[in-house]
A and B are shown apart, each in its own frame.
Chain A
């Protein structure tokens, strides 16, 4: 773009963790940056910036997506859920409870994305078998845990 031009901002309306949000932002801003920088929801993490590691996973319209690959211009009218939005009234979500109980957390950097991938799965399929669970989190890399306790935590979560 020429030096004397700037991109027009876009007006967005969406729901974030159940609350309506209205804001203006650059349409080419990544959803990840919108959440982390503009809305200060730093539970969503950046690991690779190319949609490989899954640390930036959030829920958009019931689907787990990589927020590093989605632009602000795409989210108008969507329902977005981040890790900050799944506990209700200060109570941990059953997935969060089980991640603790089964020792599924070590360094914790991949955990928000991991929990949200599992959250999207369980909302679609309440009793997934082990292979389905592995498939659902195959896009979330974890270098600490070897995934075993994560899989156990998800398998034992009853919604």
Chain B
């Protein structure tokens, strides 16, 4: 394996950066087409109802209406979905969640259309709503989609060993229940798409804030009843996604396309923030019950896990999200006897789907909180309990997979994180201060007047209200899709006769820096500068379908395809030069610094552009298509056993916090994030992934929650849905351990998601270390710390106690 690199692993300035810092980069709403019409949605105020009639009579003759689109305009599939076809483009039989759209008004003046949207008369027969997932499987609960005869979306069982025997062999048993809330992706760019009818029966062209152009193409083709090649989807610069601009963009693209074909004009849909939060999907809320048995030495003998996920009104990616949960639910610990059930159910809540982490942040929060409780119960430190049980090379996972053929760096990331933070010493010191409580003054008699005049010594110094804590979390994570889906990617590389190049991969740039990483790979193999590579705009017409850009698979899969395309050309160029220069097989041809030369025979040397001019003249093909199929994996659905992923990454994070024991405020002083992503391709990009992922994880830990009333999201904009600002998270220290792996480009694997999944658990453990109390329900916000419950609008004691 190549050990010395010219470009790989160094900080490289991103290729799309200049356009982004000058305001030239074009996002979906920055595209303007002549004669564009706009679409405005018509919704109901209902959570669950049968649609009896839709009456447009009051508005249909209004001069502002060009046309009205609803389900009756659909020629193909009226319901779609990435896995299960349960989501209507326009609701026609039932309303199943408050985000549902029954019609779209199309016209020029959006403000006028919004007023008219309220005048559509929708006759509904209200149904009892189901918003508590715990009740979804009760026999007397309403069915959200009666055609499936059950509210169960999916059940993933995993059975390993003999769970009863494991508990019998245990000295201690702990049982705990943990919950996590709905989370909004909160990309700063709201959804936007334009559909343009192509003249001459060429179909439809769609450009928008689209995470997965090939997925949008498939769904739109189904809805329009078009062949795939008549739906051309282009991705505009994407203003953040984090898994969130997938299903919703399929639906919006379909609506815009129907209207565009009907009116023969471009139709744009641009969501407000409120519409975006109301209608788009969220991270799954989980309720997780863990029962764990262990010996007095700390060896875990058995783990029984029961998880319930709220899928909301539509299936979306739920079966895959929850599948990752079942594979990773025990955490990175070798346990002989495991019994896991992960179920996801329909409710009338907002639907839930893919979000950065994809079924892991929930289970890591639960299982890593649990590990600390096991340690404390035995008088061990958190790192000790993890060393006793954690994976090593050759360990067997809960799904029966042997970890081999890559560096199993779990212990290495753990040790590195502990050493870098002086973890054990700080943790033990903080444990001594749990008995310090909220300062109070005690009186002999009952207090009637709370406004007592106190003497000087009865006041508290502000700094005395803060306590310090340090917490640890570790994880393993399967790279790419795993047995979840088809896993392969394509790349197109075309060198021009002057030595410049075009590059394109079928995966999508979502801001993560993928284009730059791919250009670095080409640069490393062909020795041409990154700035000579022009990364082409991604449209579905120009490159094979490479699956979705999800599961942190762009580096491992797309990078693999780009490497393959580059190597095809490199081999072809070397063969050509060997005959041209009459070299032997032993002569080493070097491609670097925009030059090609033979090592030790410097007279054989050409600049890259001299070479391409020559090769072009000699009729050598200067373009290639690279392909990278994921290695084989298999899965037995009945018992949850098999080789779930072809390789894994490992991470450890340590959080250092201060907790205000009077107000409940948690301030995050420092997060040390140690990750083994395999080979780092672009150091600047990799650092950015850690900072960004950890910050999102910190929001998950202590602020973020989308609350609901009868299924309606209550926080519809950033004044109420709080995401971390520049002031909310202290220092973040990324450390990379580069493990070797046979897969991916030079062993480069995944980083984007592992950075997020650990943070909430590390922070929760740090809070416990500070105050001596365990919290089971995210977010651990002010009221959770002080009251151990969430306050809601309408609670009698919201505000000062």
Task: Check if B732 sits within 8 Å of A146, measured CB to CB.
Answer: yes
Task: Check if A100 sits within 8 Å of B13, measured CB to CB.
Answer: yes
Task: Kindly list chain A residues whose C-beta atoms are within 8 Å of the C-beta of B189.
Answer: 45, 47, 55, 107, 109
Of the candidates B26, B239, B723, the one having the most CB atoms from chain A within 10 angstroms of its own CB is B239
User: Smallest distance from the beta carbon of A147 to chain B beta carbons, Å?
Assistant: 4
The answer, among A42, A82, A92, A137, for a CB contact under 8 Å with B18, is A92
Task: Check if B691 sits within 8 Å of A149, measured CB to CB.
Answer: yes
Interface size class of B (residues with CB under 8 A): 35 or more
User: Smallest distance from the beta carbon of B15 to chain A beta carbons, Å?
Assistant: 10
Task: Kindly list chain A residues whose C-beta atoms are within 8 Å of the C-beta of B273.
Answer: 47-50, 53
Task: Check if A105 sits within 8 Å of B187, measured CB to CB.
Answer: no
Question: Which stretch (A8-16, A70-78, A110-118) binds chain B?
Answer: A110-118
A65 within 8 A of B: no
Contact mask A37-50 → B, CB, 8 Å, 1/0? Answer: 00011111111111
A124 within 8 A of B: no
User: Smallest distance from the beta carbon of A7 to chain B beta carbons, Å?
Assistant: 13
Q: How far is the CA of A55 from the CA of B239 in the complex (A)?
A: 11
Q: How far is the CA of A115 from the CA of B23 in the complex (A)?
A: 10
Q: How far is the CA of A102 from the CA of B14 in the complex (A)?
A: 10
Task: Check if A46 sits within 8 Å of B511, measured CB to CB.
Answer: no
Q: How far is the CA of A139 from the CA of B725 in the complex (A)?
A: 8
Q: How far is the CA of A44 from the CA of B688 in the complex (A)?
A: 23
Q: How far is the CA of A143 from the CA of B185 in the complex (A)?
A: 9
Task: Check if A47 sits within 8 Å of B22, measured CB to CB.
Answer: no
User: Smallest distance from the beta carbon of B104 to chain A beta carbons, Å?
Assistant: 20
A134 within 8 A of B: yes
Q: How far is the CA of A137 from the CA of B724 in the complex (A)?
A: 12
Q: How far is the CA of A133 from the CA of B726 in the complex (A)?
A: 9
Task: Check if B22 sits within 8 Å of A146, measured CB to CB.
Answer: no
Provided the pairs A48-B718, A149-B688 are in contact, do residues A53 and B188 lie with their beta carbons within 8 angstroms? Answer: yes
Task: Check if A47 sits within 8 Å of B732, measured CB to CB.
Answer: no
Task: Check if A100 sits within 8 Å of B14, measured CB to CB.
Answer: yes
Interface residues of A in 118-147 (CB under 8 A from B): 133-135, 137-147
Question: Which stretch (B531-539, B604-612, B692-700) binds chain A?
Answer: B692-700
Task: Check if A43 sits within 8 Å of B691, measured CB to CB.
Answer: no
Contact mask B568-590 → A, CB, 8 Å, 1/0? Answer: 00000000000000000000000
Task: Kindly list chain A residues whose C-beta atoms are within 8 Å of the C-beta of B32.
Answer: 40
Contact mask B653-686 → A, CB, 8 Å, 1/0? Answer: 0000000000000000000000000000000110
Q: How far is the CA of A86 from the CA of B341 in the complex (A)?
A: 57
Task: Check if B20 sits within 8 Å of A143, measured CB to CB.
Answer: no
Tell me how many residue pairs across A and B have CB atoms closer than 8 Å. Answer: 168
Task: Kindly list chain A residues whose C-beta atoms are within 8 Å of the C-beta of B237.
Answer: 107-108
User: Smallest distance from the beta carbon of B239 to chain A beta carbons, Å?
Assistant: 3
User: Smallest distance from the beta carbon of A116 to chain B beta carbons, Å?
Assistant: 10
B349 within 8 A of A: no
Task: Kindly list chain B residues whose C-beta atoms are within 8 Å of the C-beta of A96.
Answer: 21-22
Task: Check if A50 sits within 8 Å of B511, measured CB to CB.
Answer: no
Task: Check if B26 sits within 8 Å of A138, measured CB to CB.
Answer: no
Task: Check if B30 sits within 8 Å of A42, measured CB to CB.
Answer: yes
Q: Which residue of A lies closest to B511 (CB)?
A: A107
Count residues of chain A with CB under 8 A from any CB of chain B. 52
Task: Check if A108 sits within 8 Å of B25, measured CB to CB.
Answer: yes
Task: Check if B692 sits within 8 Å of A144, measured CB to CB.
Answer: yes
Task: Kindly list chain A residues whose C-beta atoms are within 8 Å of the C-beta of B13.
Answer: 100-101, 103
Task: Check if A41 sits within 8 Å of B723, measured CB to CB.
Answer: no
Task: Check if B723 sits within 8 Å of A42, measured CB to CB.
Answer: no
Task: Check if A106 sits within 8 Å of B727, measured CB to CB.
Answer: no
User: Smallest distance from the beta carbon of A5 to chain B beta carbons, Å?
Assistant: 15
User: Smallest distance from the beta carbon of A13 to chain B beta carbons, Å?
Assistant: 24
A25 within 8 A of B: no
A87 within 8 A of B: yes
Interface residues of A in 15-67 (CB under 8 A from B): 40-50, 52-53, 55
Provided the pairs A107-B238, A147-B691 are in contact, do residues A141 and B18 lie with their beta carbons within 8 angstroms? Answer: no
Q: Which residue of A lies closest to B14 (CB)?
A: A105
User: Smallest distance from the beta carbon of B235 to chain A beta carbons, Å?
Assistant: 12
Q: How far is the CA of A133 from the CA of B383 in the complex (A)?
A: 37
Task: Check if A135 sits within 8 Å of B688, measured CB to CB.
Answer: no
Q: Which residue of B lies closest to A85 (CB)?
A: B23
Prevailing SS type, chain B contact patch: loop
B44 within 8 A of A: no
B272 within 8 A of A: yes
The answer, among B14, B16, B25, B187, for a CB contact under 8 Å with A103, is B14
Task: Kindly list chain A residues whose C-beta atoms are within 8 Å of the C-beta of B695.
Answer: 145-147
Task: Check if B27 sits within 8 Å of A146, measured CB to CB.
Answer: no
Q: How far is the CA of A1 from the CA of B493 in the complex (A)?
A: 59
A79 within 8 A of B: no
Task: Check if A47 sits within 8 Å of B188, measured CB to CB.
Answer: yes
Task: Check if A108 sits within 8 Å of B692, measured CB to CB.
Answer: no
Task: Check if B694 sits within 8 Å of A107, measured CB to CB.
Answer: no
Task: Check if B688 sits within 8 Å of A143, measured CB to CB.
Answer: no
Task: Kindly list chain B residues whose C-beta atoms are within 8 Å of the C-beta of A137.
Answer: 726
User: Smallest distance from the beta carbon of A57 to chain B beta carbons, Å?
Assistant: 12
Task: Check if B238 sits within 8 Å of A43, measured CB to CB.
Answer: no
The answer, among A41, A144, A149, for a CB contact under 8 Å with B511, is A144
User: Smallest distance from the beta carbon of B756 to chain A beta carbons, Å?
Assistant: 10
Task: Check if A92 sits within 8 Å of B21, measured CB to CB.
Answer: yes
Q: How far is the CA of A154 from the CA of B26 in the complex (A)?
A: 24
Of the candidates A45, A92, A134, A151, the one having the most CB atoms from chain B within 10 angstroms of its own CB is A45
Task: Check if B691 sits within 8 Å of A143, measured CB to CB.
Answer: no
The answer, among A84, A111, A133, A141, for a CB contact under 8 Å with B20, is A111
B687 within 8 A of A: yes
B190 within 8 A of A: yes
B461 within 8 A of A: no
B128 within 8 A of A: no
The answer, among B23, B187, B692, for a CB contact under 8 Å with A42, is B23
Provided the pairs A103-B685, A143-B188 are in contact, do residues A92 and B691 lie with their beta carbons within 8 angstroms? Answer: no
A150 within 8 A of B: yes
A83 within 8 A of B: yes
Task: Check if A108 sits within 8 Å of B511, measured CB to CB.
Answer: yes
Provided the pairs A106-B513, A109-B188 are in contact, do residues A144 and B240 lie with their beta carbons within 8 angstroms? Answer: yes
Task: Kindly list chain B residues whose C-beta atoms are within 8 Å of the C-beta of A50.
Answer: 273, 717-719
B17 within 8 A of A: yes
Task: Check if B23 sits within 8 Å of A41, measured CB to CB.
Answer: yes
Provided the pairs A45-B189, A146-B694, A150-B726 are in contact, do residues A100 and B18 lie with their beta carbons within 8 angstroms? Answer: yes
The answer, among A41, A53, A103, for a CB contact under 8 Å with B688, is A103
Task: Kindly list chain B residues whose C-beta atoms are within 8 Å of the C-beta of A150.
Answer: 726
User: Smallest distance from the beta carbon of A82 to chain B beta carbons, Å?
Assistant: 7
Task: Check if A46 sits within 8 Å of B21, measured CB to CB.
Answer: no
B596 within 8 A of A: no
Provided the pairs A52-B717, A134-B726, A138-B725 are in contact, do residues A145 and B691 lie with their beta carbons within 8 angstroms? Answer: yes
User: Smallest distance from the beta carbon of A34 to chain B beta carbons, Å?
Assistant: 15
Task: Kindly list chain A residues whose C-beta atoms are within 8 Å of the C-beta of B347.
Answer: none
Q: How far is the CA of A119 from the CA of B777 in the complex (A)?
A: 41
The answer, among B22, B29, B241, B732, for a CB contact under 8 Å with A87, is B22
Interface residues of B in 180-223 (CB under 8 A from A): 185-190
21 of the cross-chain contacts (CB-CB < 8 Å) are A42-B27, A43-B22, A43-B23, A46-B29, A47-B190, A49-B272, A53-B718, A83-B23, A96-B22, A100-B17, A103-B13, A107-B189, A108-B19, A108-B511, A111-B21, A140-B726, A141-B188, A141-B725, A143-B188, A144-B240, A148-B732
> Other CB < 8 Å A-B pairs besides A83-B23, A106-B512, A109-B27, 20 of them?
A42-B23, A45-B239, A47-B189, A48-B717, A50-B717, A53-B188, A96-B22, A101-B13, A105-B14, A106-B688, A107-B240, A108-B19, A109-B188, A112-B21, A134-B727, A137-B726, A143-B692, A145-B688, A145-B692, A147-B726
Q: Give 5 closest A-B pairs by Cβ, nearest first.
A: A43-B23, A107-B511, A109-B239, A108-B20, A146-B695
